[in-house]
Structure 1
Amino acid sequence: MMDTEASPKILVKTEDTFHSLFSSPGADVILGSSDHTLFRVHSWTLKTTSGWFRSLFSMPRLNPVSHCPETINLGENSRTLESILRMICGLPINPLTSYDDVDVLLFAAEKYDMPGPISLIRILVMTPPLLDQPLRLYAAASRFGWEEEAKYASTQSLALNIYAPEYQPILRKIGTSAVLDLIHLHRERREGLRRRLDETPFVTGSTVAHCPRCRRVIEHHTWRELKYKVVLEMDVRPLGDTVLNVGLVDWPEAQACWEAKCPNTECTCVLYDKNETLRLIRECIDSLPNAA
């Protein structure tokens, strides 16, 4: 008859191992990661680079006469601890290739009050491949008060539609004041161009327009439709490059505008100077604010 009892489970204890770069027997502190890797580090290094460890080591020790290294278990995994310890120990640092790594390291450096790693990370976020995520950079820069980096990131964000659903999780992580500044920048570029297009020398709706040649009353509907399309595009991509390089050339609204003529069959004067209009709109976009 078969034994119906479950087979006994063999419990294997996970052994902690020392990291190859941090295994010097002369170090007097052992740091343990959450994934069971140990790091031997000199307490002097920790005290001089971390306010958190400086405060910790100022407390009375339970066994001051013990010659065994202290073991301090931390919440970070071995990858994060290795990167932070490389920075404070003067070793070659691990490259940062994603903002997931940046956020984890910044959290740890802030947690342990380590200004050195934070300053190194501040330099690294301004190098490829991290420069292609301006909202992540803006979130980090605004949190740590990096003014120049925040301005750069806000300028780069003008190529994005920050109202799109995929960017909402990032925006929720940014402080209220900083995210309002970013929204204001995007909105001000759209509204600034809209206001400018309603002023002279552009066609305005406040006066009756006439054909410049035969003086017949003109209904500038093609211009109004193009202007509306320009404003909509600035809402999606406030950088304005798609307006200048694509829209004013290829949009059906633009082509209709440049082809518009006086309805007087004896006149047929072209109503809009394409090249001059493009030049004026380019000047308007270039004059808009470009940083939060």
Structure 2
Amino acid sequence: MMETESVPGVMALANMMNGGAFHTSFSSPDADVILGAKDHTLFRIHSWTLKTTSGWFRSLFSMPQRSSSPNHPETINLDEDSRTLESLLLMICGLPINPLISYDEVDALLFAAEKYEMPGPISLVRVLIMTPPLLGQPLRLYAAATRCGWEEEAKHASSQSLALNIYAPEYQPILRKLHTGAVLDLLNLHRDRREGIRKRLDEQPFVTGTTMLSCPRCRCKIDHHTWRELKYRVVMEMDVRPLGDTIVDVGLTDWPEAIACWDAKCPNAECTCLLYDKVESLRLIRDCINSLPKTT
């Protein structure tokens, strides 16, 4: 006789669940196994399907089992709710599958597929998470991809995360669920982009600590405060949105710091030459942002 208490994921075996109703897509009397969801929905399915698509069920059915009538198969009660179990069974049976519209569904489905050793559903979920609306949640995508070892999807998600301020409070619960290596990789990507542009703005031909603090035309003393303020704004913007698009598309033209910098002139009334080349500065900053690392 099979000892269900020793098998993970199975709550009990019973001849019939009280108050249970069969799912309309899984109610064939020809099926020889009944699976019960935790919300009491029943699923009739062929044991052959379970054995050929699930390592967990293959092991389960290889154990000695008590005999049951073909017309009254035993019910295997599982931990999953009916929505998750329905999605899982539709996938392994080759039936039209449920659309996945939230990562709560994705996580529950992946957990069940991993528990029951079902590579088919896992591969389908891998495809589905790269489609809308799931594609629009890069941190949840990154969490699922790194947990499952999906490198290509993880890289794509890390690239999409550059449009987010991952330090914002609303993203902390997601980051806490990541394993340490995945969190560090993501934080390093965001930090490296910020530090990359900060380092470039401290190099020639931009104003640096070694730049002569005088007007190139009349040698009047210049303190370059407008450039320092713009540089600080650029670095801070990269910290909250490392993608850098707001800098090159809007910031370097419309920010008050940018306007003040490009309008800055030599204080010598007889000179008043512009101190900074706006067109060349924008080109160099854009090139720098484009050259920064884009994925983990």
TM score, norm. by length of structure 1: 0.93
- Residue number among 114, 124, 134 corresponding to 1:120 in the alignment: 124
Shift of 1:62: 2.3
Alignment gaps of 5+ in structure 1: 1-12
Shift of 1:131: 1.1
Q: Is 1:259 aligned to residue 252 of structure 2?
A: no
CA deviation digits over 1:222-264, x for unaligned, max 9? Answer: 0011001110111010100111112111111111000000111
AA of the residue aligned to 2:182: A
Q: Is 1:271 aligned to residue 275 of structure 2?
A: yes
Is the deviation greater in 154-163 or in 205-214? 205-214
1: CA distance, partners of 2:213 / 2:108? 61
Q: Is 1:16 aligned to residue 5 of structure 2?
A: no
Does the residue aligned with 1:222 lie in a helix, a strand or coil?
helix
1: CA distance, partners of 2:51 / 2:223? 76
1: CA distance, partners of 2:293 / 2:179? 21
Does the residue aligned with 1:72 lie in a helix, a strand or coil?
strand
Is the deviation greater in 149-158 or in 99-108? 99-108
2: CA distance, partners of 1:42 / 1:14? 22
AA of the residue aligned to 1:131: L
Name the counterpart of 1:155: 159
Does the residue aligned with 2:226 lie in a helix, a strand or coil?
helix
- Residue number among 279, 284, 289 corresponding to 1:285 in the alignment: 289
AA of the residue aligned to 1:115: P
- Residue number among 78, 94, 106 corresponding to 1:74 in the alignment: 78
- Residue number among 30, 53, 59 corresponding to 1:49 in the alignment: 53
Q: How does 1:213-224 map to 2 (within 5 A)?
A: 213-224=217-228
1: CA distance, partners of 2:223 / 2:40? 76
1: CA distance, partners of 2:46 / 2:153? 34
Shift of 1:66: 4.4
Q: Is 1:60 aligned to residue 93 of structure 2?
A: no
Name the counterpart of 2:232: 228
Shift of 1:14: 5.4
Q: Give aligned pairs, total.
A: 279
1: CA distance, partners of 2:259 / 2:211? 25
What RMSD, in angstroms, separates the aligned Cα atoms of the two structures?
1.2
Name the counterpart of 2:137: 133
Name the counterpart of 1:200: 204
CA deviation digits over 1:199-235, x for unaligned, max 9? Answer: 0111111232332222323211100110011101110
Does the residue aligned with 2:92 lie in a helix, a strand or coil?
helix
Alignment gaps of 5+ in structure 2: 1-16
2: CA distance, partners of 1:290 / 1:30? 49
TM score, norm. by length of structure 2: 0.92
2: CA distance, partners of 1:171 / 1:177? 11
Name the counterpart of 1:7: none
1: CA distance, partners of 2:211 / 2:197? 20
Is the deviation greater in 244-253 or in 186-195? 244-253
Percent identical among aligned pairs is 76
1: CA distance, partners of 2:60 / 2:216? 81
Shift of 1:273: 1.1
1: CA distance, partners of 2:34 / 2:148? 30
